[in-house]
Amino acid sequence: MIKTRFAKLIAGTIKIAIISSFIAVPTLLSAMQQDTLSLVGNRVATLIDTEGNPARANDAILKAFSEKSVTVTATTQAWSGSGLRNGKFQGYIDHYSLNQEKPNYVYSQPYASVKLHIASTYEKVVDMKKIEKLYRQRVGIENRFANTDQMRGERSVSWARAPDFLGNIQQLAGQRVDYILADKYMLDEFNKLLLAIDQEPLYLSASPVFSVDLTLGINQNVSGAAAIIEKFDESVSKLKAGDEYLSIFKSDSNESSSLDITLYEDILQKW
């Protein structure tokens, strides 16, 4: 009887120890994972992209976090949203000032801005300073801007939505619209492609009609979220004092286009 009770006691002790070890593993992994800050952004050519492709926002974020282990994943809006909800990602790098801030996130100061200009084959757009100048016109726009709080409330024009910059250019090339609203950096990069085949570049409004700030958002449940944002802001402030950081967001006219020319070949052939 005593031997039987002792055997049961030993077996129970071993069972508890095994269960405890399994409970400890996720806790340890969680602590290890916190050493690396996992960030996400919706994939946009030349702004947020996968490794090996031009990605201005990725470069800026990694430069500002040069002293911290950080990963930036470029993916679709559906996957980034899911990953933020289930905790796979601790923050996102592409909060647009066109949207309201989420209440459960801590946000940085703007680390960059996207200048939206009107572009057209018509020279008159150069003098356009407000979108209202295109009253009741159909204007091409990417979904990433159209699906924002501010743009949804814009009633002076009729938005012709496109999934991305390429689709927006296709609308203009196919004469489905006479005007598009787009990121000046990408418009400059497309104009390089036109100039390379001896075509006239697109005309752009002399000044942006919208200036969209980019900020970093960290889930407030992340340990030290406010401190991470504070450190990030300090780092960006220091980097902006030099030329290297600012050059990330400027198109260099002396360099070839950062756009993937193979995606634009059909447009250029029919231009």
Closest C-alpha among 264, 268, 215 to residue 105: 215
Instruction: Among 31-40, 63-72, 78-87, 230-239, name the one with the lowest average pLDDT.
Output: 31-40
Q: What is the mean pLDDT of residues 106-114?
A: 97
pLDDT in the model for residue 257: 97
Q: Note the pLDDT tens digit of each residue in 214-241.
A: 999 999 999 999 999 999 999 999 999 9
Please state the separation of Cα 122 from the chain's center in Å. 30
Grade residue 182 by pLDDT with cuts at 50, 70 and 90. very high
Q: Note the pLDDT tens digit of each residue in 51-69.
A: 999 999 999 999 999 999 9
Q: Note the pLDDT tens digit of each residue in 246-260.
A: 889 888 988 999 999
Q: Can you read off the two tokens belonging to residue 184? A: 């000046």
Contact 113, 212 (CB under 8 A): yes
pLDDT in the model for residue 213: 98
Is the confidence at residue 12, as pLDDT, over 90? Answer: no
Is the confidence at residue 31, as pLDDT, over 80? Answer: no
Which residues touch 24 (CB under 8 Å, ≥6 apart)? none
Report the distance separating Cα 36 and Cα 116, nearest Å.
34
Residue-wise over 232-271: b if at least 16 C-beta within 10 A, else e?
bbebbeebeeeeebeebbebeeeeebbbeeeebeebeeee
Q: Which domains are delineated in the chain? A: 36-112+213-247 (3.40.190.10), 114-211+254-270 (3.40.190.10)
Length reported for the chain = 271
Is the confidence at residue 45, as pLDDT, over 70? Answer: yes
pLDDT in the model for residue 29: 34
pLDDT in the model for residue 246: 84
Closest C-alpha among 186, 188, 201, 209 to residue 57: 186
pLDDT above 90 covers a percentage of the chain that reads 82
Q: What is the mean pLDDT of residues 116-141?
A: 96
- Whole-number average pLDDT of the chain: 89
In order of 64, 86, 133, 173, the CA distances from 145 in angstroms are 25, 25, 19, 20
Instruction: Among 12-16, 32-36, 77-81, 169-173, name the one with the lowest average pLDDT.
Output: 12-16
Q: What is the mean pLDDT of residues 27-50?
A: 76
